[in-house]
Structure 1
Amino acid sequence: MTGPLLEVRGLTVALKGVGQPIVDDVGFALAPGETLCLVGESGCGKSLTSLALMGLLQSPPLKVIAGTARFAGEDLLAMDTARLREIRGGRMAMIFQEPMTSLNPGLRIGEQIAESVRRHKGVGQAEARARALEMLRRVRIPAPEKRLDEFPHQLSGGMRQRAMIAMALANDPELLIADEPTTALDVTIQAQILKLMKSLQQDTGAAMVLITHDLGVVAEMADKVAVMYGGRIVEAGTAEQLFTDPQHPYTIGLMSSMPSLGDRRARLVTVPGTVPPPGAMPPGCRFATRCPFATAACDAAPALRDLGAGHGVACHFAPLVAGDLPQLRSTGT
């Protein structure tokens, strides 16, 4: 494939009874083998974006009202249910944040993986079970022959997440969407899961959309990053661009809030305030109520402008230089 595997343009999601879109004009492109991290606080629209792409929005009250999402040339947002079911779980798959609520508690782990294989590969029960066992081995679950016939509640949190990854990758998808797949895990297991996902992605050449609020995960996994706030992308570029030269005030706040292994006397920076709820966003720049730069110009929504080399920023004052940065609020020691 010469073009993007996934190209999203103008994705807009509405919530019934709310006058403003809760995901507004989101766009990005992803090539085979690339990893895009969607970053932002809870409530910024990351998970809704992924659910819209997978056709899993609860409708009503949620509805895609504009945009396209071309996957290998076909628009996911315009597909009928039958065609989407053919692709979902086969050519594209999703890892959910909490496997205990995503796995079926009444089915054995092997049955759940095998069911997906039978559905999309058209193989028999024995071959599907053999594939399920192979996948449990690939994700390094201990004693996979035993785990194959266990129920989700009999597995630890780390093993359940590995089982979810095995299920998502069982049909060798071209696109993998992972919604904060390590949030509920301790740091040791999180590191193992991320290493596993990276290794399996390299083996299969799959593209991945990884949703996270953890900038450490972004540094480890991302080729590209899109920072979301209030349902909009406010900054996008390569991981190197956003870590070395963040340009949106929100991105700068996020980067400044990362703890450091350096001088422990330094104070951690916070971004004051919280994300406004749906329907209460400012009419222009949605970050204006929390931004140290905000002026009357921010009553008009800034467009996502390319500052060069594909580094896009939605801020009237970009590009910013170090001398322009305000004194951000700090907290604690």
Structure 2
Amino acid sequence: MNQSALAEASRTVESSSETVLSVEDFTLSFSESAKTNLIEGVSFHVERGKTLCIVGESGCGKSVTSLALMGLLASPPARIRRGTAMFGGKDLFALSEREKADLRGNDIAMIFQEPMTSLNPAFTVGHQIAEGIMRHRHMSKAEARAETLKMLQMVRIPAPESRLDAYPHQLSGGMRQRVMIAMALANRPKLLIADEPTTALDVTIQAQILKLIRQIQEETGTAMILITHDLGVVAEVADHVAVMYAGHIVEQGPVDEIFNDPQHPYTIGLFGSIPTLGRRQGKLATIKGAVPPLELMPKGCRFSPRCPFADQRCRDEVPPSPQLGPDHTAACWYAPLEQKLGARQ
């Protein structure tokens, strides 16, 4: 194939992007009588072969959102008040328990934050990977074991033949996380959810794991939701970013726009608090205050108690999410900041 044909094929692939998951107005609470929802009006989508990073500080609702998508929240107490999560023509929030079990580990898979607590210490890693393969692909034990070996080879585990019969405690943290990746990808899922997959790893292993996930994603075309609080990880792997605060998505857009032109005060605060290499000039910036408890959450913008620009309208009225660029929105009364804050002064 000549260069012009290659370029044309590339343009065709880019122009025919396929939305794998579309979440609209997802709202959830953990109490029937709660006046304020834990997750409120969350909307996002992720495309085939692309990575959406959901970023925010601990407790903002990132992991709860991922568990809800996987159907892993006990109900009650979790209650989905409204919203849809369309995947393959089906609403994930409306599926039966049997339908959820058929999807989990097959069309949708998840890499959990801590592999030592996610892997069963009583079974070998080969058994645990093969179990999912047999459940969803109806292979024999011998066929599943051979496929498990291929998966361990794919995630670059050294001497994979000897690791098949190893128990989780016999592997390093980096190898355990590779096992989790192999388990998640064993059935070629259309969507991979990775919940802080590198948090417990040192920097060198973290870089290897991120590179591995990216390479496998490019090879398989899997869509990915990566949940993290590490903006360095976001810069490394994201195509699209959703910034979450107190159960709301306050800003989202292409990764370059979010990093180069953040338009929500919370996003700006996150970037201002990143440590940098080299000599520090003054104190590290911080976001003053703390996330208010649900019972004291303001009626309007949930960030307003900590926002340096907030006025009474911010506290009383939920802000709109104006379109600031292609796929770039920010839920702020003063977005775009340069224009509206300048006019206010």
TM bracket, shorter-chain basis: over 0.9
Partner SS state of residue 27, structure 1: strand
Question: Which runs of 5 or more structure 1 residues have no equivalent in the other structure?
Answer: 326-333
Counterpart Cα distance in 1 of 2:17 and 2:337: 35
Q: CA 1:2–1:249 in 2, change beyond 3 Å: closer, same or farther?
A: closer
Partner of 1:312: 329
C-alpha contact (below 8 Å) 1:253/1:270 kept by paired residues: yes
C-alpha contact (below 8 Å) 1:230/1:281 kept by paired residues: no
The structure that is helix-richer by fraction is 2
TM-score, with structure 1 as normaliser:
0.94
Deviation at 1:114, TM superposition (A): 0.1
Partner SS state of residue 294, structure 2: coil
Question: Which runs of 5 or more structure 2 residues have no equivalent in the other structure?
Answer: 1-15
| Pairing 1:105–2:116 present | no
Deviation at 1:88, TM superposition (A): 1.1
Counterpart Cα distance in 2 of 1:3 and 1:163: 29
Deviation at 1:266, TM superposition (A): 4.0
Alignment of 1:1-333 (within 5 A): 3-16=18-31, 17-261=33-277, 263-298=279-314, 299-321=316-338, 324=341
Q: CA-to-partner distance for each residue in 1:34-64, whole Å, 9 max, x for gaps?
A: 1000000001110011011110112221121
Counterpart Cα distance in 1 of 2:257 and 2:283: 25
Moved more, 89-98 or 257-266: 257-266
Counterpart Cα distance in 2 of 1:155 and 1:186: 15
Q: CA 1:279–1:154 in 2, change beyond 3 Å: closer, same or farther?
A: farther
RMSD: 1.6
Structure 1: which amino acid aligns with 2:19? P
Partner SS state of residue 337, structure 2: coil
Task: Give the total of aligned pairs.
Answer: 325
Partner of 2:11: none
Partner of 2:4: none
Q: CA-to-partner distance for each residue in 1:134-164, whole Å, 9 max, x for gaps?
A: 1111111122111111111111111111100
Structure 1: which amino acid aligns with 2:97? T
Structure 2: which amino acid aligns with 1:87? L
Q: CA-to-partner distance for each residue in 1:64-106, whole Å, 9 max, x for gaps?
A: 1211000121111111111111111001100000111111111
Partner SS state of residue 5, structure 1: strand
Deviation at 1:323, TM superposition (A): 10
Counterpart Cα distance in 1 of 2:47 and 2:212: 21
Q: CA-to-partner distance for each residue in 1:237-293, whole Å, 9 max, x for gaps?
A: 000110000000000000111122355224321111122233332221100111001
Aligned-residue sequence identity (percent) comes to 59
C-alpha contact (below 8 Å) 2:334/2:340 kept by paired residues: no
